[in-house]
Structure 1
Amino acid sequence: MKKDKVYTEYMYSGKIIKVRRDWVKIKKGKQEHRTWMEVVEFSNAVGIIALLNEEEIILVEQFRYAPGEKLLEIPAGKMDPNESPEAAAVRELIEETGYRPNKVKRIFSLYTTPGFTDEYMHIMLCEDLEYVGVNPDEDEVINVVKYNIKDLEKMVLERKIKDAKTVLAVLYLTRRQ
């Protein structure tokens, strides 16, 4: 199957997202079909596995407007233009938790929800943390919490952790070694 973009129009341009729709020609064998494809454009992002030590991880608890509830998550945020995932992880971790990592390593990268957005997230492992003071964005109300890694898998299975990037981080943490 091949898809050729024929036309693009932007429907919305906001503070953190753009919404476009593309008129595409889909070729499947000898058949051809045309349809609109809607895409939410978002910058690349980082998700941060912040290890305090071999047994503890830093998570953030914050109210998320879209689902309408408070979620427990790994720290995360969008990358600035031309910013490396490593630099973004350091910046975001300090902003959200007040901890600066001395070791940063990319674990894996993924499309968060490829059915409708182009968001590409790098999951970063941050270690050797030192507290330097928190500096959250103006519109963020974040509660920084520490959890024992052994407790996280049970929390996922009990549906206490619902955020996809955090579920993947827990899977990584509980399966590594």
Structure 2
Amino acid sequence: MSQSLIEEKLKSTEIYEGRILNLKIDDIKLPNDKKAKREIIEHAGGVAIVPYMKDTKEVIMVRQFRNPMEKVLLEIPAGMLEIKEEPKMAARRELEEETGYKTGDLKRIGSFYTSPGFCDEKIHLYLAQNLSKYEQNTDTDEFIEIVKLSIDELKEKLYTSEMMDAKTIIGIQYLLNFLDE
């Protein structure tokens, strides 16, 4: 790693502490010795799950209203990590809560940062197969519509205004590549 890229944190000031995120401002020294500020959102991280039903060749998706965008989006099931929760356990929990399905086969795909320019949120992505119907148990402030889409329907909706969520696009692209192998 090139030392000419490293920024040195001089001071960190907490601006806001909330339920799902914290905001701080870091004073930093740049590699050229000049000073700058960085606005940083701290987030506990989350999980996202691609629930693939092999027998019907369908993916279980969720539709929900997203307030920042003021619209309903089509997404893969996902949620936040609870304090000290292992990502795999969170993935199982979120899959059951949001879709009402359990999985006998949960495979870790990988992890990614959502917006590393200003946020430390990391999402852990999983593929769920061998699904069995259970009981949907969403949070009290969560209103979700379950949608099952075929692979062809997913391909049609990918990159449309209904499916603009990055974790969903990454997860669906993974699934399409996985099925082509």
Q: Same fold (TM over 0.5)?
A: yes
The reply on whether 1:26 has 2:27 as its aligned counterpart is no
User: CA-atom RMSD, angstroms?
Assistant: 1.2
Spell out, residue by residue over 1:51-72, the C-alpha distance to the aligned partner (whole angstroms, 9 max, x if none). 1225100000000001111000
Q: Which 4+ stretches in 1 moved above 2 angstroms? A: 157-160
Spell out, residue by residue over 1:23-66, the C-alpha distance to the aligned partner (whole angstroms, 9 max, x if none). 00111xxx311111011111121010011225100000000001
Match of residue 134 from structure 2: 132
Where in structure 1 are there 5+ consecutive unaligned residues?
A: none
Match of residue 64 from structure 1: 66
Using the size of structure 1 for normalisation, the TM-score is: 0.94
Match of residue 13 from structure 1: 17
Match of residue 37 from structure 2: 36
The 10-residue stretch of structure 1 (77-86 or 59-68) with the greater mean CA deviation from structure 2: 77-86
Output the amino acid matched with 1:77: G
Q: Percent identity?
A: 37
- 1 CA distance for matches of 2:152 and 2:169? 13
- 1 CA distance for matches of 2:140 and 2:28? 40
Q: How many residues align?
A: 174
Displacement of 1:160 after TM fit? 3.0
Give the 5 Å matches for 1:39-118: 39-53=40-54, 55-118=57-120
Match of residue 145 from structure 2: 143
Displacement of 1:130 after TM fit? 1.2
Where in structure 2 are there 5+ consecutive unaligned residues?
A: none
